[in-house]
Amino acid sequence: MALAHDPLFITSDKSPIDITSTPPPSSMMILTQDELKRIAAYKAVDFVKSGMVLGLGTGSTAKHAVDRIGELLRRGELENIVGIPTSKKTQEQALSLGIPLSDLDSHPVIDLSIDGADEVDPRLNLVKGRGGSLLREKMIEGASKKFVVIVDESKMVKHIGGSKLALPVEVVPFCWEFTAERLRGVMEGYGGCEAKLRFGENGRAFVTDNGNYIVDMYLEKDMGDLRVVSDEILRLPGVVEHGMFLDMASTVIIAGELGVKIKNKYSSCC
């Protein structure tokens, strides 16, 4: 029988199956992307222990993990947790669940961070920030002893930018068009890109929690040496941070129709 902490698949007869140890039966219902995200998130929360300082991620996948942490606190299965939220949205969610919160000034070393990702390459490099919280995420997850990433299998790519979706860059609003043009110029040497200002639902420029804009880069080719590209982008005046999280993930948990895979930083073992 599966434990309460274990992610479950539900078969057509409504019986739970622990997919971390059991291959899915033929009668298993097809899971939605959100259900796969929840499975990965619940598995990540198994790493959480009482007394930890936790980095609380942002986005649809991380939301499931924060909900789970709140649930285990209410049930008394976790105690003395302190959360460091990566966005105002996550802060509001955590407060609604009764999760005690603090910040990096009070807790400069974090035991564990849990967050989603927009892309994961074979070396566990990430793209994050399509939700707009990349700066705070990078600060908090960079201060963590362990960073567990939770994704569904659609986020796995052969190389950064392989999804053909946005690689976000946070920029100051002042002369953002100048900065976007400089980004295009830098990326010409790495396969080229299209750089577009991100707009919000109100039709105006999207503004981050830090009062900045996001320029989304759409890459045309594999960039090659990501650290070299990273350094060149960060040297541009006007750039605050980019969404490449290089060599930061300790563990990636991947939920798919055939079960959960766990990839660790120095091993390709699943």
Mean pLDDT taken over the chain: 90
d(CA 218, CA 192) in angstroms, rounded, equals 9
**Dihedral class, residue 265 (left if φ above 0, else alpha if ψ from -120 to 50, else beta):** alpha
Euclidean distance between the first and the last CA atom of the chain, given in angstroms as a whole number: 22
pLDDT tens digits, one per residue of 178-192: 999 999 999 999 999
Exposure letters 121-156 (e unless 16+ CB within 10 A, then b): beebbbbbbbbbbbbbbbebbebbebbbbbbbbebb
Token pair listed for 32: 């939605």
Number of C-alpha atoms within 13 angstroms, CB side, residue 195?
23
Which residues are annotated as catalytic?
A: 137
Domains observed in the chain: 10-156+247-265 (3.40.50.1360), 167-242 (3.30.70.260)
Backbone angles phi, psi at 114, to 5 degrees: -125, 125
The DSSP letter of residue 154 is G
Among 7-16, 27-36, 99-108, 169-178, whose mean pLDDT is lowest? 7-16
Q: What is the pLDDT of residue 259?
A: 86
Q: What is the pLDDT of residue 15?
A: 33
pLDDT tens digits, one per residue of 25-46: 444 567 888 899 999 999 999 9
